[in-house]
Amino acid sequence: MREIIIGVDLGATKILYGVATIKGEIIYSNIIPTHSEKGIEYILGKMTKAIKGLIKDYENTNKIKAIVIVTPGPLSYPEGVVINSPNLCWDNVALRDEMQKEFSYPLLVEKDTNAAALGEYYFGQDSKYRNLIYITVSTGVGAGIIINGKLYRGISGGAGEIGHMVVEPNGAVCQCGRQGCLEALASGTAIAREGGTKGAKEIGDSARQGDKEALRIINSAGDYLAIGIGNLVNIFNPEAIILGGGVMQGLKDLWLDKLRQQVYSSAFPLNTRKLQIDVTKLGDNIGLYGCVAVIIDQENKR
């Protein structure tokens, strides 16, 4: 029987869930709204129901290897507890244990950026960059770090919080309480804050039409992103920086070329010698690829 993974990508606004083979072939996927305002029990119940439906549909004709849930962080490792998550407004939710008790199949929980980095490593880039940083720019800014072909989580699961790298100590106040975090300067939220009533997408549209204020906002956020990425290049000397997230994908035409140029010209020459900077090609399904990749990473004992 075919080995499959049931994957759930829990986001603040929507839940992507589906079924994929262990080789990364997506068999089924669906999106439902999260309604995070309805609270923890509601969301856990919704995920449980979705997973049970998939089990019913697939368990007779496939071997279900595991259920993988990816969630916004911070997520403690190895406990699988969501700690003080600004996106979900959850604190101390024992996500892994709560969900595992509903199912007899092995259930893994991973931070969304970590899973996306693994998805990108295995499926987006075909394992060719053994030191890769995946950066998401959406509502927030975060990263997943692959070192020597394995996910790096740090000692408690907190690694990759690059959105909370301060790059402007007197800059805008961040949700985390500090000032001038990359997330407070370069995220979709930061762009929207500067733009008044408009969202990041509309500000991007105005910038393309030559609106000077919109261009200033987009360029400022892009410049901070370049500073943050330049910092990471000097710290990690990675082979690849892969960018994703809705805001990044939406502003790719305005950001990517300039960002590459700024990073290549400002970081240490030794550190950019073998550096690739690119935008993910996995699209919206990166969360499901990530679920599969979490299992591959776990089985990779290297």
Contacts with a second copy by CB under 8 A lie at 74, 76, 83-84, 130-131, 143, 145, 147, 152-162, 164-169, 176-178, 223-224, 227, 230-232, 234-239, 266-271, 273-275
Nearer to a second copy, 147 or 256 (CB): 147
Q: How far is the CB of 227 from a second copy (least distance, A)?
A: 5
User: How many degrees, rounded to 5, is the angle at CA 215 between CA 210 and CA 221?
Assistant: 160
What are the residues whose beta carbons fall under 8 Å from the beta carbon of 221, sequence distance 6 or more?
A: 185, 186, 187, 190, 191, 194
Q: Which residue, 174 or 251, is less far from a second copy as judged by CB?
A: 174
Please report which residue ranges of the chain form alpha helices under DSSP H: 40-58, 95-100, 112-119, 182-186, 188-194, 200-208, 212-236, 246-266, 269-272, 286-299
Q: Which is nearer to a second copy, 62 or 187 (CB)?
A: 187
Is-contact 48 40, C-beta < 8 A?
no
- The DSSP string of 54-109 is HHHHHTTTEEEEEEEEEE-S-B-TTT--B-SBTTTTB-SB-HHHHHHTT-SS-EEE
CB of 80 to a second copy, least distance (A): 12
Q: Residue 22 or 83: which CB sits closer to a second copy?
A: 83
∠ CA 274-184-117, nearest 5°, is 40
Minimum Å gap between C-beta 135 and a second copy is 12
List the one residue out of 99, 106, 77, 94 whose CA is nearest residue 5. 106
Shortest gap between Cβ of 164 and a second copy (angstroms)? 4
- Residue 42 vs 268, nearer CB to a second copy: 268
Nearest CB to a second copy, comparing residues 28 and 236: 236
In angstroms, give the least distance from the CB of 235 to a second copy. 6
| Residue 271 or 285 having the CB closest to a second copy | 271
| Angle subtended by helix axes 246-266 and 212-236, to nearest 10 | 60
Q: Which is nearer to a second copy, 227 or 296 (CB)?
A: 227
Q: Phi/psi at 257 (nearest 5 deg)?
A: -60, -45
Query: Please, what is the minimum distance in Å from the beta carbon of residue 289 to a second copy?
Result: 24
Torsion of CA 134, 138, 142, 143, to 10 degrees: -10
Beta carbon of residue 226, minimum distance to a second copy (angstroms, whole number): 10
Min. distance of Cβ 178 from a second copy in angstroms?
5
Give the integer Cα–Cα distance in Å for 302 and 287: 24
| Residue 33, number of CB atoms within 10 A of its CB | 11
